[in-house]
Amino acid sequence: MSPWAELAKEAGLLVLSPIRAALAQQLGRPVAASVVWRRLLARHGWRKVAPDTRHPKSDPAAQAA
């Protein structure tokens, strides 16, 4: 986790897919994304951030027209 922690300090966020690929390579077998999230990131206090469902500047009336 130390290389990822350093990257998180610099960038402020982590992307799951590179961590998953590195773990799968180290273990020599496929690893599910849920394993990386639940077993590693959540254990160390990271939280999952999802994108907003709509853009703050969106205009529903203009989209309906």
Instruction: Check whether 11 has a pLDDT greater than 90.
Output: no
Structure tokens at 16: 């799951």
Q: Answer whether residue 2 shows pLDDT above 80.
A: no
pLDDT at 24: 92
How many CB atoms lie under 10 A from the CB of residue 6? Answer: 10
Higher pLDDT, 62 or 13: 62
Amino acid at 28: G
Determine whether 14 is exposed, middle or buried from the number of CB atoms within 10 Å of its CB (0-12, 13-18, 19+).
middle
Q: What is the pTM of this model?
A: 0.59
Q: Which helix (H) or strand (E) holds 33?
A: helix 33-35
| Tens digits of residue pLDDT in 19-54 | 889 889 999 999 998 888 887 788 877 777 667 677
**Does the pLDDT of residue 1 top 70, yes or no?**
no
Domain residue ranges in the chain: 2-46
Token couple for 32? 């599910």
